[in-house]
Chains A and B, each alone.
Chain A
Amino acid sequence: MPDRLADRRGEAHLWLVLEEALASATHAGDEHGVWDARRSFRTVADALMVVGAVEPSRAEAIVAELDDALAVRGLTVAHSFGGRAFPAWDPDRQPVRRRGDGWLEAEIEHHLDLVADIQPGANPMLGMRVLEVLGPAVRALQAAGALPHGPARLADVAATFHAAGFFVDAPLGEADRGWLGFLRSRPAPLTGATEPAASVDLEVAVGTMAGRPVVVRKVAWSESVLELDVDAPELPDTSLSTVGWRCSVFDDAGRLHLGQVGIRRGEGGPVVFRLRPGLMAGVSSMSVRITRGSERIEEQLWL
């Protein structure tokens, strides 16, 4: 491949996902399967466009080509066949690259809002469905080098859905009503940053990473922010795709605190999480999860 293709991992991935979508739609052979394959493919294409990993006119043309390939297989109506020409590669028309964290955060929030109106007993598959929507896009952003921590973030989302009962294997009728109440009433994250008013010096070694101990030195919080001072192994801080470490915080009810900016690269230091009003009220402990690649540390901290 010529060198100029080296930074086009997003488009390369989109072509491969087209093949997967086509295989999946052909295998399903019914309207549901075809609809699912098209929807999923469009979500992936949109995500890659948002982060500038694929030039929009090419992404749209690839989406149209999947539709045409489905029409040629009789899976959609023949008159939908468009046969549009594919745009030539133009090195001067390349979008600005962005990280995918913002996109993923917004998508998670969006899905939590949708789920907040539904009882787990009515659709225990919902957690799985959300992951089916988000998973392929996260995988695509990761392949494009725009979201190194996507899978860990999704694992957090899966855990929090599971805690609410939105999974097939979660016991029906035993959904965490408090968690649902929290979802339904949760106010927007606070925007004004206030200095942490309370703090606890912990000096707790929570595990090892890259052969070195990871220590949480201090936890400080106010009604709008939570700050962890983490001493983590020094890691090279180079390109977008470098795997640094990331930190997530769950409250004592197992709820993932969103609005978190939990990704760090390089050495340790303070990790600041923006909170929603009242979230820390009455919280006496929290779980801190620190991940780096496949390494994972999880520790309960008592405040």
Chain B
Amino acid sequence: MAVRPHVPPWWAGLADAEASVTCGGAEHRVRWSRGVLELVDHDDPAAERSLAALGGDPPGCVVLFDAWHRHIASPELVTLGRRPGELDLGLPPSSDGELATSSVGFPRRSLPSAAIAAVERSLQRRDDLRRLLSMSGPMIDRLVLTVLASCADRWSDEAFRATHGLRVGAALSVRATPAIRRFGERLGCGPAEISISPARPERASPMVAARLDTGQPVAVSAELPVGWLTNVWGRGISEPDGELVLDVTGGSDDGREFEVVVAEWEPAGPITWEAALVPATVVVGDDGSRRVRRRW
């Protein structure tokens, strides 16, 4: 029986990131490391949360920690997150007064309890997102990658695809288009027209094909796994050494080496091409450089 190579977790190879949080009048730090958010300046967040439930305000770090975990599966964050080439993003920090959900005045007495609960949920959600999007850019990036990993995990769920599939498809398309376009231009037929869609859950391998009709630009279509967003784009290995990486099939958990498949054009007919999937290894250097070694 063939042994399936070890596929490293989506966060392997991503550097730790930190953000500062105003907490009880002091500046504290939260850290993202190996896919997990840690509160650097709190030994027992659960105990502090319990104390806060008895009265008083929960510490700012704990509030951020809870917001993070309420939204690590919210696909809306994918739409808010960074696109290729964008430098920085994020909301300015909000004061507690701006975010104090419970102090927002709305006519509680005239509303049924279900409506009050709905309004409070909505305000809570807005406050959560404002807090999270006020973190440093690298922390926002890791939050969005966490959400993307959750989207990839849920891609086989038809109800998830029905609600968020088109959003995820657009997110994949906008992030993969620059690399696929450059790959299409390697055909030497001028600028390419690109169409990218997420692969069906049952599809085993990514697919890239091209067609050149008379009088038309070359049309390149690709089906990529949703996991491409975290495993390839999120790690910054979509085009190492000028190769197009379509998938990660194995590698080490320290993120220094990834077994990948890269694409290479092969003619499939007089006016059509298909990308052959070539096994290769991406080696990440100490200086952050990425080198590709083909295994064929």
- Docked Cα-Cα span, A37 to B204, in Å, equals 38
Asked if A182 is at the interface of the complex by the 8 Å CB criterion, the answer is no
Q: Are B200 and A86 in contact (CB under 8 A)?
A: no
Chain A residues within an 8 Å CB radius of B98: 79
Nearest-neighbor residue (CB-CB) of B133 within chain A = A72
Q: Which of B37-45, B78-86, B108-116, B229-237 contacts A (4 or more CB under 8 A)?
A: B78-86
B-facing mask of A7-22, CB < 8 A → 1, else 0? Answer: 0100110011011001
B28 to chain A, nearest CB (A): 23
- Docked Cα-Cα span, A61 to B170, in Å, equals 15
B238 to chain A, nearest CB (A): 17
Asked if B242 is at the interface of the complex by the 8 Å CB criterion, the answer is no
Nearest-neighbor residue (CB-CB) of A66 within chain B = B79
Q: Are B126 and A83 in contact (CB under 8 A)?
A: yes
CB contact between B91 and one of A22, A23, A72, A86 (< 8 Å): that residue? A72
Q: Which of B9-17, B58-66, B160-168, B270-278 contacts A (4 or more CB under 8 A)?
A: B160-168
CB contact between A89 and one of B92, B133, B162, B170 (< 8 Å): that residue? B162
Q: Are A1 and B165 in contact (CB under 8 A)?
A: yes
B122 to chain A, nearest CB (A): 7
Chain A residues within an 8 Å CB radius of B125: 83-85
Q: Are B133 and A5 in contact (CB under 8 A)?
A: no
Chain B residues within an 8 Å CB radius of A12: 166, 169-170
Q: Which of A74-120 contact B (CB under 8 A)?
A: 74, 78-79, 81-89, 91
Chain A residues within an 8 Å CB radius of B209: none
Known A-B contacts A72-B90, A81-B130; the reply to A19 vs B162 at CB < 8 A is: no
Nearest-neighbor residue (CB-CB) of B123 within chain A = A83
Asked if B281 is at the interface of the complex by the 8 Å CB criterion, the answer is no
Chain B residues within an 8 Å CB radius of A227: none
Q: Which of B1-58 contact A (CB under 8 A)?
A: none
- Docked Cα-Cα span, A86 to B166, in Å, equals 12
- Docked Cα-Cα span, A273 to B293, in Å, equals 67
Nearest-neighbor residue (CB-CB) of B124 within chain A = A83
CB contact between A4 and one of B80, B162, B174, B198 (< 8 Å): that residue? B162
Asked if B75 is at the interface of the complex by the 8 Å CB criterion, the answer is yes
Closest 6 CB pairs of A and B: A15-B170, A83-B126, A83-B129, A89-B162, A89-B163, A19-B174
